[in-house]
Amino acid sequence: MTSIVPQSILDGLTDVPMPRLANERPPKEFVTASGHSLPVHRAEALVLGSGAAGLRAAVELMRRDVDVAIASQSAFGGTSACSGSDKQTLHTANTAGRGDDFRALADALGAGGAMDEDTAYVEAVGSARALSSLQFMGLPIPQDRLGGVLRYQTDHDEVGRATSCGPRTSRLMVQVLTREAIRLDVPIFNHTTGVRLLVAPGPEPRAIGALVMAPKKRSKDNPFGFAVFLAGTVVIATGGLGELYRDSVYPRHCFGSLGLALEAGIEAVNLTESQFGIGTPRDNFPWNLSGTYVQCMPYIFSRDARGNERNFLGDFYRTTQELASNIFRKGYQWPFHATRMLDFGSSLLDLAVYRETQAGRKVFMDFNRNPLPVPGDAEFSLDRLDDDVRSYLANGGALLETPLDRLRKMNPLSIELYKRYKYDITRDPLEFAILNQHMNGGLAVDTWGRTNLAGCYAVGEAAGTHGVTRPGGAALSAGQVFGTRCAEHIAASRKPRDAMKPEPVVEEAVARVLGALRTDSALETEAIRKEVQDRMSDHAGILSNAKDVKAAAEASHALNETIRQQGIAFDGANEALRALQWRQSAIASEAVLTALAYYLERGGGSRGARTVCAPNGDRTPEARSGPLDDVRFVSERDEDRAEQVHVRFNAGTFVCEARPIRRRDRDDKPFFERDWPAFLTGAIHDEAR
C-alpha cells in the first residue's frame, strides 16, 4: 500500500535542515576575575536558550529595536529542535462553527486546576496571533481549500483546537524562527552555557546579565572559557529539566536552568506537576508515542530475558474490544492520569506497561499484528470497537486490515521519522516504556513573563505557566505567546540604567563557580547523575507515597550539602561545565521533591501525572482479575485546584508556600474608547506583579 503523499513531500517534512548561524559578535572589552581574563559582551537584552520560545523572544525584541543577544548551549540540540511526538501541536480557538472562543480555550487550558486564570486567558488570546505570525514566517500550517486551518483533537482537548505540521512541527518552528533571527541580525552565541546569573545587589536586586562558559573558546588566561554578558534584562528560555529522570524521553544534555535561577532567588511554582507517558527510550530514538502510533492499534506485548512473549494487557482489560479501544485512546489521552486508571480507562495501559518494565521485561508495539484477544474473548475485529474509535477510523478512511495499513493511511510521516534513525517500524517491533516528558511547573511569572527578580523574565518550559493538565502541545503556543509578551514589556519598559561597575558582581560569580569545582574532590559527576536520576524515577514518578517522597527530599538535601562542602571533581573545561550542570540538577531535584513533600504533607491527593498511593486511599483501580489494592490511591481535594505551591531557595534550604491562583474578573469587558489610551501611553505595561 503506497501513500498518496509523494515521498519528496514526506522527506521535506521529516528532514528539516537548519540554517547556518550568523557570526558571533567579537568582544570589545575584557574583565579580570579570580585571575581569569573574561571577554565581555553587552546588549540591552540577553536570551538564554535558542529553542522556539527563546528565538521568538529574541526576534520580537529585535523587531522593537531592542539590541538582543542569544546564548545557547546547543543551538539545535534542545527539545524544540530534537524531540516531540507523533503530532506536535499548536493550539488556538477554533471557528465559531464549533461554538468556541478565547474564554472557552482559557477555561480548557486551566481545567486541571492550579493555573492562574489571567495567564490562561493571555495564552488563549495570544494563540491566534502566534499561529498566524508563524504562518507569515513560513511555517507550513495545514489548511483546507478555503484557507481554514485543519485541526484535530488531542490530550485534554474536547473541542479539537490542535493543528500540526507533523512530527517535526517544533523543529520547523525553530527553522523559521532562526531564519528570521538571522535576517534581523540577532547574534547567536552557540556552545555558550549560562552557569550563573549576575545579580546587582541593593534594596531591589536586579539581573544584569550572566556568567557563561564556552569550553571551546578556552585559552591560557581563561582555561574554562568563561565569558560575561551584561544586559539590562535577561530572558530565561532554556527549556525543561530533561536530565532529571533516568526514564526520560528528553534528548540528552537538556538540563534547563531551574537550579541556576533558584540560586539567584527566583521563585518557582507547580514543580509538583509533570507529564509522563509512553515513548521510546533515550538509548534508541527518544519520541512520544501518541497520536496515530497508538490510534492504529498495534499489538502491544512484553518479552522476558529468554524471549518469551506475554500479551500482558489481556490481564488488565475485560474484553478485546475494551483493550483495543483504550490503545486507540492513548492517541489523545497520552499523558498518564491517575483517574484514567479507573473504570478500565486508558491509563490502566500505562500502569500495565510500568509494571512489566519494573518486573524486568521489555515492552514493544508491533505494527504488523492486530491486538491479540483477551483470554476467553473474541478475536480483534474492526466491527467490535467502541463507537468513538470506529467513527474516528471511518472518518479517516482507516478501517484497514493491519495496524501498519492504518498508520500509513493516517500519518505516513510517523513511519518516515523512525526510518531517519535507522529503525524500520514496518518490519520490527518498537520498544517503549513509561517516560518523563514535560515539566508543567517552572519559574513563577506574571502575565508579561516577569519573574520576582527585577530584570529577569522566563518563557517556554522554563516558565511555570501551566497547571496540573494542559491540552497536548499547548506548551508550544504558550512559549510563542510569552516570548512575544516579554519582548513587548521589555521594549515598553526600558530606560537608562544607573551606572554601576559590574566587576564586583562578576568577581563574586566567578569565585562561586570555581568554589564548586575541586580537582581533589571524591564526589564525581557520574555519581551525582545516577543518584539524582534514580531517586526521581523511583520516588517521584507516576506512583508515589508521602513517606517515600519525604525520605527522597531529605536525601536530596543531604546530597546538596555534600556538594556544597566537598565540591565536584572534574578534569578539564568540558567536564567542569558538566559538573556545574549536574550541581544545578541536584538543586532542582531537591526543589521538586521538597515541593511534592509539602503538597503531600498538607493532604494533597492524586492529580495529573502522579498517583498518591496509600492503604487508606478512597479509589482503587481494577483489572480483569480484580481490584489492584497496591495501587489504591487518595483522590485530589477540590481546594487544591485553587492553589499553587511556590518554592524559593533561602540560605541553603527550600521554603514552600501555598498561594491562591490569580483570578480573572470575568465580568470585566474591554471598551475601546475607555481602554485605548492605556495602550497608547504604555499604561498596560505598568500592572503590579
Q: Which segment of 185-199, 212-226, 672-686 scores lowest on mean pLDDT?
A: 672-686
H-only helix segments in 568-689? 573-601, 672-681
Q: Give yes or no for residue 527 having a pLDDT over 70.
A: yes
Using an 8 Å Cβ cutoff, are 540 and 593 in contact? Answer: yes
**What does the domain layout of the chain look like in residue ranges?**
26-273+440-493, 277-434, 518-642
pLDDT confidence of residue 85: 53
H-only helix segments in 249-291? 258-263
Distance of CA 245 to the CA centre of its chain: 13
Q: Which segment of 1-15, 116-130, 557-571 scores lowest on mean pLDDT?
A: 1-15
Banded model confidence at residue 451, pLDDT cuts 50, 70, 90 = very high
State percent of the chain over pLDDT 70.
96
Q: What are phi and psi of 664, to 5 degrees?
A: -110, 135
C-alpha span between 584 and 193 (Å, rounded): 13
∠ at Cα 243 (555, 579), nearest 5°? 75
Q: Which segment of 4-8, 44-48, 169-173 scores lowest on mean pLDDT?
A: 4-8
Instruction: Based on DSSP, count helices (H) and strands (E) in the chain, helices before strands.
Output: 19, 24
Q: Which segment of 200-209, 279-288, 404-413 scores lowest on mean pLDDT?
A: 279-288
The model's pLDDT over 8-42, given as tens digits with 9 standing for 90+, comes to 777 777 778 888 987 788 998 999 999 999 999 99
Residue 259's nearest CA partner among 617, 535, 537, 580 is 580
Q: What are phi and psi of 36, to 5 degrees?
A: -105, 140
Average pLDDT over residues 355-381: 97
∠ at Cα 123 (125, 153), nearest 5°? 95
Q: Give yes or no for residue 534 having a pLDDT over 90.
A: yes
Using an 8 Å Cβ cutoff, are 114 and 317 in contact? Answer: no
pLDDT confidence of residue 499: 62
How many other CB atoms are there within 10 angstroms of residue 23's CB atom? Answer: 8
Q: Give yes or no for residue 543 having a pLDDT over 70.
A: yes
Q: Which segment of 132-146, 444-458, 526-540 scores lowest on mean pLDDT?
A: 132-146
Q: Please list the residues that pair with 612 across neighbouring strands.
A: 544
Using an 8 Å Cβ cutoff, are 70 and 259 in contact? Answer: no
Indicate if the alpha-carbon torsion angle 244, 247, 250, 252 is positive or negative: positive
Q: Give yes or no for residue 688 having a pLDDT over 80.
A: no
Q: Give yes or no for residue 409 having a pLDDT over 50.
A: yes
Using an 8 Å Cβ cutoff, are 433 and 353 in contact? Answer: yes
Q: Give yes or no for residue 99 having a pLDDT over 60.
A: no
Question: For residue 99, is it left (φ>0), alpha (ψ between -120 and 50) or beta?
Answer: left
Average pLDDT over residues 64-88: 80
| Measured CA distances, 58 to 114, 229, 406, 496 (Å) | 29, 15, 42, 20
Q: Please list the residues that pair with 514 across neighbouring strands.
A: none
pLDDT confidence of residue 94: 60
Q: Let me know how long the chain is.
A: 689
Banded model confidence at residue 502, pLDDT cuts 50, 70, 90 = confident
Q: Give yes or no for residue 83 having a pLDDT over 80.
A: no
Element (H, E) at 144: none
Task: Identify which of 79-93, 114-128, 310-324, 329-343 has the greatest average pLDDT.
Answer: 310-324
Give the β-pairing of 287-288 and 90-91. unpaired
Three cell numbers written together for 643: 492553589
Banded model confidence at residue 228, pLDDT cuts 50, 70, 90 = very high
Looking at residue 191, the DSSP 8-state letter turns out to be S
Banded model confidence at residue 496, pLDDT cuts 50, 70, 90 = confident
Indicate if the alpha-carbon torsion angle 507, 513, 519, 521 is positive or negative: positive
Mean pLDDT of the chain: 92
pLDDT confidence of residue 204: 92
pLDDT confidence of residue 438: 87
pLDDT confidence of residue 15: 78
Q: Give yes or no for residue 383 having a pLDDT over 90.
A: yes
Looking at residue 665, the DSSP 8-state letter turns out to be -
Q: Give yes or no for residue 575 having a pLDDT over 80.
A: yes
∠ at Cα 439 (80, 213), nearest 5°? 60
Using an 8 Å Cβ cutoff, are 549 and 593 in contact? Answer: yes
Banded model confidence at residue 1, pLDDT cuts 50, 70, 90 = very low
Using an 8 Å Cβ cutoff, are 481 and 127 in contact? Answer: yes
Using an 8 Å Cβ cutoff, are 436 and 244 in contact? Answer: yes
Q: Which segment of 280-294, 398-412, 577-591, 626-640 scores lowest on mean pLDDT?
A: 280-294
Q: Give yes or no for residue 463 having a pLDDT over 80.
A: yes
Q: Give yes or no for residue 173 having a pLDDT over 60.
A: yes
The SS3 call for residue 532 is: helix
pLDDT confidence of residue 345: 97
The set of residues, in sequence order, having a beta carbon less than 8 Å from that of 16 and lying 6+ positions away, is: 168, 171, 172, 175
Residue 456's nearest CA partner among 183, 267, 607 is 267
The model's pLDDT over 101-127, given as tens digits with 9 standing for 90+, comes to 788 889 989 999 999 999 999 999 999
Average pLDDT over residues 32-60: 96
Residue 247's nearest CA partner among 217, 206, 275, 210 is 275
Average pLDDT over residues 302-319: 97
The set of residues, in sequence order, having a beta carbon less than 8 Å from that of 575 and lying 6+ positions away, is: 525
pLDDT top residue among 494 and 208? 208
Class of domain 518-642: mainly alpha
Q: Yes or no: is domain 26-273+440-493 CATH 3.40.605.10?
A: no
C-alpha span between 515 and 377 (Å, rounded): 65
The SS3 call for residue 37 is: strand
Q: Give yes or no for residue 176 having a pLDDT over 90.
A: yes
pLDDT confidence of residue 84: 62
Give the β-pairing of 456-458 and 543-544. unpaired
Question: Do 26-273+440-493 and 518-642 have matching folds?
Answer: no
Give the β-pairing of 36-48 and 68-71. parallel
Banded model confidence at residue 86, pLDDT cuts 50, 70, 90 = very low
Q: Give yes or no for residue 2 having a pLDDT over 80.
A: no
pLDDT confidence of residue 668: 85
Distance between terminal CA atoms of the chain?
A: 58
